[in-house]
Amino acid sequence: MKLVRFGVSLPKSLIDKFDRLIKSQNYPNRSEAIRDLIRKSLIEEEVQSNQEIVGILHLLYVHHKRELSDKLNRIQHDHHDLIISSTHVHLNHDNCVEVILLRGKGENIKNVSNKLIAIKGVINGKLYTTSTGEKIK
C-alpha cells in the first residue's frame, strides 16, 4: 500500500481537543485516527447509497410484555431474506437482549430495524451498520 503525505491546517484549540480524543480512544498517532475518521465517513456514504450493508441490531426488552415476542418473531419472519442470524439472551427475570445480524440494501435494513425498535415493550434498540462494498443489483 502506497502512503501519501498531506498537510492540514487546524486551529490549535481544535488539534488540542483532537489529541485528547485520540489519546482517550488509544490511537497510536494522529495519522491512524484520521485514517479511521475517513474510513467511517466513506462507509457512512456507502450505507446511504444503494450499497449492500451489514447491520447489527440490538434490542433490549421486557420479556413478559404481552405478545411482544410474537411481534418480534413475526417481523423477523416477514423479513427473513435480510436476517442472517439472531441471538436471544436472558439478562434477568424480566429483561432480554436480542442481537440480530442483517444483510441487504441499506434502506431495507433501516426500515426493518426501525419496525423492531418501535414495538411497544422494546426499551432500547440501536442499529450499527457497515458496508460490504458490494452494489445491490
pLDDT in tens, 24-78: 999 999 999 999 999 888 877 777 776 889 999 999 999 888 899 999 999 999 9
Q: Strands, E, within 43-82: which ranges?
A: 51-62
Which CA distances in Å does 42 have to 52, 54, 133?
14, 15, 10
Do both 91 and 32 map to the same domain? no
Residues 73, 117, single domain; the answer is yes
Structural domain includes residue 1: no
Residue 6 belongs to some domain of the structure: no
Which three cell numbers, joined as nine digits, stand for 46?
Answer: 456507502
Answer yes or no: do 118 and 81 share one domain.
yes
Average pLDDT, the chain: 91
Q: In terms of domains, do 19 and 66 share one?
A: no
Owning domain of residue 68: 52-135
Q: Would residue 5 count as lying in a domain?
A: no
Q: Are residues 124 and 60 in the same domain?
A: yes
The pLDDT confidence band at residue 3, using thresholds 50, 70 and 90, is confident
- pLDDT, position 42: 82
Contact 95, 123 (CB under 8 A): yes
Number of separate domains in the chain: 2
In a domain, 114, yes or no: yes
**Global pTM value:** 0.75
Residues 6 or more apart in contact with residue 18 via CB below 8 angstroms? 10, 30, 33
Query: Do 35 and 102 share a domain, yes or no?
Result: no
37 belongs to a structural domain: yes
Share of the chain above pLDDT 70, in %: 96
What gap in Å lies between CA 37 and CA 10, rounded to an integer?
16
What confidence score (pLDDT) does residue 63 get? Answer: 84
Domain co-membership, 58 together with 122: yes
Q: Decide which of 39 and 83 is more confident.
A: 83
Taking residues 92-97, what's their average pLDDT? Answer: 94
pLDDT at 137: 55
Would you say residue 2 lies in a domain?
A: no
Say yes or no to pLDDT of 133 above 80. no
Confidence band, pLDDT 50/70/90 cuts, at residue 136: low
